Amino acid sequence: MTAEYVIIGSGSAGSAIAYRLAEAGKSVVVIEQGGSDFGPFIQMPAALSYPMNMSVYDWGFQSEPEPYLDGRRLATPRGKVIGGSSSINGMVYVRGHARDYDTWEEMGAQGWSYADVLPYFQRMETWHGEADGAPSGDPAYRGKDGPLHISRGPRKNPLFNAFIKAGQQAGYPVTSDYNGQAQEGFGAMEATIFKGVRWSAANAYLRPALKTGLVKLVRGFARRVVIEDGQAVGVEIERGGVVEVIRASAEVIVAASSINSPKILMLSGIGDAAALREHGIEVVADRPGVGANLQDHLEIYMQFQAKKPITLYKYWNLWGKALIGAQWLFTGKGLGASNQFEACAFIRSKAGVDYPDIEYHFLPIAVRYDGKAAAGGHGFQVHVGPMRSKSRGSVTLRSADPKDAPKILFNYMSDPSDWEDFRACVRLTREVFAQPAMKEHVKAEIQPGTGVQSDAELDAFLKEHVESAYHPCGTCRMGRADDPMAVVDEECRVIGVAGLRVADSSIFPQVTNGNLNGPSIMTGEKAADHILGRRLAKSNLQPVINENWRVSQR
């Protein structure tokens, strides 16, 4: 089988690239190991805790024992399904902050400043504003007719607006659109949900691309990129126990996630030469940056008991879940149509920080990602964590066998500033929940609990309870061609190998503010233009930065 372009991975970036290449009349094969995304566990937004805990949809990766977290192994879910991680994620839509992209450019990713990427965010979106259609936000900054539908939840539960009001009472701004002009502040959260259905990369991009007849989906396990005389010419896959090669007449594009993309490059002979030789792999390109620079967001759940029985806990039983599921199946509406992340905030941890470095997701129930409800019945929680950890980890090969999962070591909390930032998260959160708007709802603090106050007590709690927000990135970093630790150049081309690109969250030089699905799709959109030799014109819209950032925290 041959196509002009062969893409490994049907996730956020891979699906977007396939769509744009087909739109330009190119023939494409998309290789995906995972199966169908059909069914309510994936398509019903409220069921989000299920797919990321199901081995049928998830690669099942785990970190190595983390040395700064008492040797805990943290789950690292990655989508093994049509649509990739966009089919198992929390559907939260955050573009990242304008300064994130300006920082990328400063780090060597020429042409990836905010002015460069904003037009791609606009091209990919159909933005629906408020659930009730009321005008809000910054329409000039948003897209009107892209494949990806972005909506806001109805915020019918009074706790959502109480959280936003409490932020205001604590002296923070309210932002009408954190994906628009001003990220900083409290406000409504946005989601990749359309007409009550998860609007994954599969629904937005891959299905329309397949309908053109130019894109073919091949179910198989990508083992390595086939490179002949320094040129990528195809992908070796295994399906039905048979190893075969799908050839690419133009280019191979690796879009397999920040965990699997570096693994595939290394198995193909691209990576740290000494490490590859140890595994008996012939070196094609000595790029020590492959697998390095691994970053993520950590968070904790701060949980509170509720005074009033208005949380979602009343549905946290078999009968309640069945009711929600039935209503969603028959009408596409109700609680099943929301991911329940309908209010959020982006704030700065201290004076001297120029743009937000803390993110909040508010949830009107006290429950974990794996679906375990907190003790204490009616409650609510906020997920909070620092956005720009200085800790860096790596993805390395366990062996030369493609079937072996790679070694993933995040080195979480290895930088002392991480502890300081997390303590600030806890203390600033307690202050918000002590404001009148939330105080009337708070019966008691479940986690960490009011007995946890000193730095030492907080650190002990953090060591035991921090969780990944599932935003790994950075392992095939984009940079200047003369940067020895860069893996791809500013056009996503693998340095030292012709006809090969990487386009997914692995190329991020630095993790962006917030959730990574939006930036990953944008990366696919922009990479497609680089492949096609075109570029959208830069935007001249400017972000709003708090003018007092040097002297005040809010």
Residue 290 has pLDDT above 90, yes or no: yes
DSSP 79: B
**Which region holds residue 256: left if phi is over 0, alpha if psi is between -120 and 50, else beta?**
alpha
The pLDDT, as a whole number, for residue 129 is 84
The pLDDT, as a whole number, for residue 369 is 64
Domain definitions of the chain by residue range: 2-36+209-294+474-531, 41-77+91-200+296-468
Q: Structurally, what CATH architecture does the domain formed by 2-36+209-294+474-531 represent?
A: 3-Layer(bba) Sandwich (3.50)
89 is in an annotated binding site: yes
What positions carry a catalytic annotation?
Answer: 471
The pLDDT, as a whole number, for residue 457 is 98
Residue 347 has pLDDT above 80, yes or no: yes
28 is in an annotated binding site: no
302 is in an annotated binding site: no
Count Cβ neighbours within 10 Å for each residue of 75-112 and write b for 16 or more, e otherwise: bbbbbbbbbbbbbbbbbbbbbbbbbbbbbbbebbbeeb
For residues 512 and 124, give the distance between their C-alpha atoms in angstroms, rounded to a whole number: 18
Residue 326 has pLDDT above 90, yes or no: yes
| Rounded to 5°, angle at Cα 47 from 512 and 84 | 50
Fold that domain 41-77+91-200+296-468 belongs to in CATH? Glucose Oxidase; domain 3 (3.30.560)
| Residues 301-322, mean pLDDT to the nearest whole number | 94
For residues 196 and 312, give the distance between their C-alpha atoms in angstroms, rounded to a whole number: 18
Which one-letter amino acid corresponds to residue 321? K
- 8 A C-beta contact, residue 503 and residue 527: yes
Rounded to 5 degrees, φ, ψ at 494 are -65, 125
234 is in an annotated binding site: no
The pLDDT, as a whole number, for residue 487 is 98
Q: Encode pLDDT of 52-109 as tens digits.
A: 889 999 999 999 999 999 999 999 999 999 999 999 999 999 999 999 999 999 999 9
- 8 A C-beta contact, residue 289 and residue 477: yes
Q: Encode pLDDT of 240-256 as tens digits.
A: 999 999 999 999 999 99
Q: Encode pLDDT of 375-422 as tens digits.
A: 668 999 999 999 999 999 999 999 999 999 999 999 999 999 999 999
Rounded to 5 degrees, φ, ψ at 531 are -60, -40
The pLDDT, as a whole number, for residue 137 is 81
Average pLDDT, the chain: 96
CA 490 to chain centre: 21
CA 60 to chain centre: 17
Strands 242-254 and 2-8: parallel
Sorted by sequence, the CB contacts under 8 Å of residue 140 that are 6+ apart come out as 180, 541
For residues 19 and 501, give the distance between their C-alpha atoms in angstroms, rounded to a whole number: 17
Quickly tell me which residue has 């400043």 as its tokens. 113
411 is in an annotated binding site: no
